[in-house]
């Protein structure tokens, strides 16, 4: 699945709290003021690391050459500092650090946590209950990156708690669109961006289905949730449908008609494209002929074929669907 990693990252970043992150990233922290709370070694290291932000290459060298020291220092900071602005800044540093050499750095966190008898994401899970929404969502992003990019997968109660948190963000009271923009909360979009990271991994796809995650997605899509959130949730279906087993399970949730209605009604090209790609996955990744036939029949019943005939036939996914649905329609007429 590494071939879709960039697509997932792009989708996640497009709905992130980017403007707020940018403001926090430019905060100046006077680390010397923490001399009483932190050891002299921690203060010296974080000061050196932070000063290197003006020279990105230097900061990346520190991360590459002193990765374990960075993790140790970051954990020391989040454990011992309570000031919200400083915690926001620390979490932003950690989130940024994980974006380069992402697998190697996620594994450094995982290995360090094991050496100290902990689990990498356990440091951040309690922050999901913090009163500051920025801290909550940055912690959620870090948890998503560590668990999706590292060599170990999140399991048991930790995974249940994380998916429960995601589902709670999609509760009806959180998805009411802004009257002016027509879009939902950026924090809700950020939460779904975390889900994108998780659904790249097969184990998490199965766990999300077991957690009744698809019912949650369907419920939100049935409302006026805003174009961006609509796109992101359909993106989740697209990710799930990369797995043949998930295609089998999705069949029982009757997702095709709802997507067909959105395809007909939406004026947003991005939303239309992701629906078309999700449909393609459902037909292309399904290994059972009966499942493919059921999906194709549902698409034809939802007038997907007629809708696609108005689209650019040079698009590979459109071309694929026109061919497959056309063949099914001919066979079905017999």
Domain with 38 in it: what CATH number?
1.25.10.10
- 9 assigned to some structural domain: yes
- 262 assigned to some structural domain: no
- 43 assigned to some structural domain: yes
Classify 286 as helix, strand or coil: coil
CB atoms within 10 A of CB 260: 20
pLDDT of amino acid 332: 66
User: In the numeric block, which tokens belong to residue 102?
Assistant: 């992402």
pLDDT of amino acid 7: 52
- 82 assigned to some structural domain: yes
- 115 assigned to some structural domain: yes
Alpha helices in the chain (DSSP H): 5-14, 18-25, 40-51, 56-65, 67-80, 84-99, 102-115, 133-149, 156-169, 186-198, 202-210, 213-221, 227-240, 244-251, 255-265, 269-284, 289-301, 304-308, 316-333
Question: What is the rounded distance in angstroms from the CA atom of residue 237 to the CA atom of residue 280?
Answer: 11
pLDDT of amino acid 242: 96
Q: Where in the sequence is the domain holding 11, given as residue range(s)?
A: 2-240
pTM for the model stands at 0.90
- 195 assigned to some structural domain: yes
Average pLDDT per 10 consecutive residues for the chain, totaling 334 residues? 49 62 93 92 95 90 94 95 96 93 93 94 96 96 96 95 96 80 82 95 96 95 91 97 95 94 93 96 94 94 90 86 89 65
Q: Is 132 exposed, middle or buried (0-12, 13-18, 19+ CB in 10 A)?
A: middle
CB atoms within 10 A of CB 192: 24
- Total domains present in the chain: 1
pLDDT of amino acid 183: 74
Question: What is the rounded distance in angstroms from the CA atom of residue 320 to the CA atom of residue 325?
Answer: 8
- 160 assigned to some structural domain: yes
The radius of gyration of the chain from alpha carbons, rounded to an integer in Å, stands at 22
Question: What is the rounded distance in angstroms from the CA atom of residue 312 to the CA atom of residue 319?
Answer: 8
- 257 assigned to some structural domain: no
């Amino acid at each position: 699945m590494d071939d879709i990693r960039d697509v997932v990252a792009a989708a996640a970043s497009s709905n992130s709290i980017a403007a707020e992150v940018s403001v926090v990233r430019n905060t100046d922290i006077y680390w010397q003021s923490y001399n009483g709370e932190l050891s002299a070694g921690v203060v010296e290291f974080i000061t050196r690391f932070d000063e290197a932000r003006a020279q990105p290459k230097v900061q990346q060298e520190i991360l590459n050459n002193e990765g374990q020291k960075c993790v140790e220092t970051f954990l020391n900071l989040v454990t011992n500092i309570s000031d919200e602005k400083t915690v926001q800044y620390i979490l932003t540093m950690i989130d940024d650090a994980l974006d380069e050499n992402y697998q190697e750095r996620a594994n450094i966190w995982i290995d360090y946590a094991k050496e100290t008898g902990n689990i990498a994401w356990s440091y951040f899970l309690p922050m999901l209950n913090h009163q500051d929404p920025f801290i909550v969502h940055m912690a959620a992003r870090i948890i998503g990156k560590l668990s999706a990019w590292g060599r170990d997968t999140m399991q048991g109660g930790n995974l249940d708690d994380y998916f429960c948190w995601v589902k709670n963000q999609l509760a009806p009271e959180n998805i009411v669109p802004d009257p002016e923009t027509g879009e939902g909360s950026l924090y809700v979009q950020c939460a779904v961006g975390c889900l994108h990271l998780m659904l790249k991994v097969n184990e998490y796809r199965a766990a999300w289905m077991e957690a009744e995650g698809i019912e949650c997605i369907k419920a939100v899509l049935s409302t006026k949730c805003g174009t961006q959130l609509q796109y992101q949730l359909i993106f989740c279906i697209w990710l799930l449908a990369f797995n043949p087993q998930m295609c089998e399970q999705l069949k029982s949730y009757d997702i095709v008609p709802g997507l067909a209605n959105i395809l007909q009604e939406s004026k947003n090209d991005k939303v239309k494209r992701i629906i078309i790609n999700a449909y393609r996955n459902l037909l292309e990744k399904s290994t059972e002929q009966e499942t493919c036939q059921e999906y194709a029949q549902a698409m034809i019943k939802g007038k997907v074929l007629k809708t696609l005939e108005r689209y650019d036939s040079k698009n590979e996914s459109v071309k694929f669907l026109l061919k497959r649905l056309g063949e099914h329609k001919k066979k079905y007429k017999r």
